[in-house]
Amino acid sequence: MKKNLKVLGSILAIGLIIIIIKVYPFMKFMNSFEVVEVDKNLTLALGGGGNSAILMSDKEVLVVDSKIMGGKDKLFALVKEKAGNKPIILINTHLHADHAGGNGLYKGNTIIAGAYTKEQWIEENGEGDGLPTEFLKDKKEIQVGEETVIIQNMGQAHTYNDVVVFFKNRKMLFMGDMLMIGMHPFLKENNGSKISLYLEKLNKALEEFQPEKIVPGHGRVGGKELVAEFQTYFAETKSVAEGKLELSAIEDKYKDWIPFLSMASTEATVKYWKKELGIK
Ligand SMILES: [Zn+2]
């Protein structure tokens, strides 16, 4: 009996080590935290969950996405350091915890997210202080100092209500997880992920805003080439799903993209395409 317990303990320990090794690149990627001072009123905080922005004016501060784990506290400390007690407007690009996990820290301020139901939000994030104060159906413009901020609900793509944020004067577009670079997307049916709509909405956002700088939900900042890169990823995984391309032909190309166990990987995206296209 004792021997059996020892064997079981060893198997569990080995299993745990394998999981830690597999999850480590993801945790490292999610925990990286880089501050980029774009200009005197705009700071980007990349990593630590989803990419975030802090936009300042004399009267208020606008924050895009509140991050998760240690990143959420680092971001909030940075916001307070810059904004003091100015009112904060927090925008969540979508409801996933790596973008909305720090919402509770902003209690008493304005929190804007897409038009999810309260139940959908609570199912994903639990009950707490982080519930948005406004669930945006379509579009809203806010003046923050010299910057005109357009918040647009793009509808269903990565989730049921993905919001993009456009800084009009800076021609900078924050796309949340409608765009992910260097990391495989989390595709979840119960959150409304639909790849064909991703592709449609990516083009729509580019057409509508004509951005010069694009900030993805995860990964490096760039221009329109980032969207093309992500569209190629989806086009190639679709070809694999349709049997036109071998998985091995693209696996090497995306080997540096961060996976998350079997939930986010080249193979997981191919599987999701198959389900979406009704391919057995
Ligand atoms: Zn994310």
Q: What is the pLDDT of residue 113?
A: 98
Whole-angstrom distance, CA of residue 270 vs CA of residue 228 = 18
Residues near 148 by beta carbon (within 8 Å), at least 6 away in sequence: 141, 142, 167, 168, 169
Residue 109 has a CB neighbour count (10 Å cut-off) of 16
Cα(98) to ligand 1 centroid in Å equals 5
Question: What domains sit in the chain, N to C, each tagged with a CATH number?
Answer: 32-277 (3.60.15.10)
Cα(4) to ligand 1 centroid in Å equals 42
Cα(198) to ligand 1 centroid in Å equals 14
Whole-angstrom distance, CA of residue 172 vs CA of residue 166 = 6
Cα(12) to ligand 1 centroid in Å equals 30
Q: What is the pLDDT of residue 112?
A: 98
Cα(158) to ligand 1 centroid in Å equals 10
Q: What is the pLDDT of residue 13?
A: 81
Strands (E), the chain: 33-39, 42-47, 52-56, 61-64, 88-91, 110-114, 134-136, 139-144, 147-155, 162-167, 172-174, 213-215
Q: What is the pLDDT of residue 280?
A: 85
The helix (run of H) or strand (run of E) holding residue 268 is helix 266-277
Token digits of residue 114? 């897409």
pTM recorded for the entire structure: 0.91
Q: Are 95 and 116 in contact (CB under 8 A)?
A: yes
Residue ranges near ligand 1 (ion) with Cβ within 5 Å: 50, 98, 177, 217
CB neighbour class for 51 (10 Å; exposed up to 12, middle 13-18, buried from 19): buried
Q: Are 158 and 193 in contact (CB under 8 A)?
A: yes
Token digits of residue 216? 């993805």
Token digits of residue 211? 């951005």
Token digits of residue 179? 């765009």
Low-confidence spans in the chain with pLDDT less than 70 = 1, 19-21, 23, 25
What pLDDT digit, counting tens, does each position of 201-253 carry? Answer: 999 999 999 999 999 999 999 999 999 999 999 999 999 999 999 999 998 99
